[in-house]
Amino acid sequence: MGDRTVTRAHLTEAVYQEVGLSRNESADLVESVLEKISSTLSGGEGVKISSFGSFGVRMKGERIGRNPKTGEEVTITPRRVVVFRPSHILKNRISSSLGEAATRRVT
C-alpha cells in the first residue's frame, strides 16, 4: 500500500491528465470544488458525493479529559467536528483492494 498521500497537486495533475484542461484550469477546478465543500461544511450543511461518501458536521459536547502527561483533569470545550461516512461502494472497493494486496504478498 505505501505511505503515499494524495495532495492538491496530485488531484490537479489527475484532472489535467484525464480531462484535458490546462494545468491552471485544472488547479482552478480543484480549488473551486474544495472551496465549495469547505464553505458548505462551514455553513453546517452536509456534502454527499455519489459512490464516494458523505461529509457532515457534528457537535461534540463539553466533556472532561485528562492530560496524559500530568494526569490532570481538563474540561474540553464543545466544538463542531467534520465527520466522513464512506459509501458502500467505496467500502467494497477498499475491502477488495485489501484482499488483492494480501494475495499479492502471499504469492
pTM (two decimals): 0.75
Of all helices (H) and strands (E), which one includes residue 105?
A: helix 88-106
pLDDT in tens, 66-93: 999 999 999 999 999 999 999 999 999 9
The mean pLDDT of the chain is 91
46-83 exposure pattern, b = at least 16 Cβ within 10 A, e = fewer:
ebeeeeebebbbeeeeeeeeeeeeeeeeeeeeeeeeee
- Determine the Cα–Cα distance for residues 8 and 77; give it in Å rounded to an integer: 32
> Is the pLDDT higher at 2 or at 13?
13
The yes-or-no verdict on residue 105 having pLDDT over 70 is: no
N residues, the chain: 107
pLDDT in tens, 28-67: 999 999 999 999 999 999 999 999 999 999 999 999 999 9
The pLDDT of residue 98: 75
Give yes or no for a contact between 18 and 10, defined as CB atoms under 8 angstroms apart: no
